[in-house]
Homo-oligomer: A and B are copies of this chain.
Amino acid sequence: MDNKKIRQILNSVKSGKVNVKDALDSLKHLPYEDIGIATVDHHRELRHGIPEVIFAAGKEQKDIKVIAASMLEKSGKLLITKASKEVFKDVNALCKKHKVKAKYFEKSGVIMAGYAAEKKGMVAILCAGTSDIPVTEEAMATASFLGSRTEAVYDVGVAGLHRIFKAKKILKEANVLSVVAGMEGALPSVIGGMTDKPIIAVPTSVGYGTSLGGLTALFAMLNSCVPGIAVMNIDNGFGAGVLAHKINKLSA
């Protein structure tokens, strides 16, 4: 924002050189893009609701370290996804320096630090098979980092539905369910037939032959005969955690 220009206008108003009507017109015709940029930037988390996150996959270890340091400096908070153990070692050392506790989730590669101690509401994450665990963990860690209480129910295959009954208490308490499944992606439909909670379906790239890298599960979920199931991108546990937290927050 061109502070000088506005200051000039304001000074002219103050001194009486320019009347209010003309000053108003001047301000109105400043291209909107000139205004408030810095402000907007400062309010980034506010607008998005989500602090910046580092996707470690494909980034060099030294680069991750630099960004992580800058984020810890700025906000004392840190969420990294798809990080290797080596990255965690670096980041952990960094966190110790900042006196922030870091936590590493090995299967999904999530690192989090500076997360809210108090968790609110309840997000339940249902996981169809053992191969879906990394995505489930990413969703759970993300929602937890953002401040939601989370519970995961593992191994709820369509051919082993009785496991879901064991988790009845969790399902009743949850404000929102995230259902993670690969292969034929039928689990969200089946769960959707048993509950009135909002369901976020996450297809995984797990499968053989025509699983098509998760497209089969994705399309199956989009075509669920149970109305009102929303779908995330394939393997997008992070996105599911973000959305689940946003929904959970509403009732908290």
A residues sitting closer than 8 Å to B (CB atoms) are 1, 3, 6-7, 10-11, 13-14, 16, 20, 23-24, 27-41, 44, 46-50, 53, 58-59, 128-131, 157-162, 164-166, 168, 175-176, 183-186, 189-190, 192-198, 200, 203, 205, 207-212, 214-236, 238-239, 242-243, 245-248, 250-251
Question: Which residues of chain B are near A216, meaning CB under 8 Å?
Answer: 216, 219-220, 222-223
State whether A196 and B246 are in contact (beta carbons under 8 Å apart), knowing that A28-B38, A212-B219, A230-B231 are contacts in the complex: yes
| Copies of this chain in the oligomer | 8
| Shortest beta-carbon contacts, A-B, top 5 | A49-B196, A209-B234, A230-B230, A33-B165, A228-B242
In whole angstroms, how far apart are the Cα atoms of A13 and B6 in the complex?
Answer: 12
Are B23 and A28 neighbours in the complex by a CB distance under 8 Å? Answer: no
A223 to chain B, nearest CB (A): 4
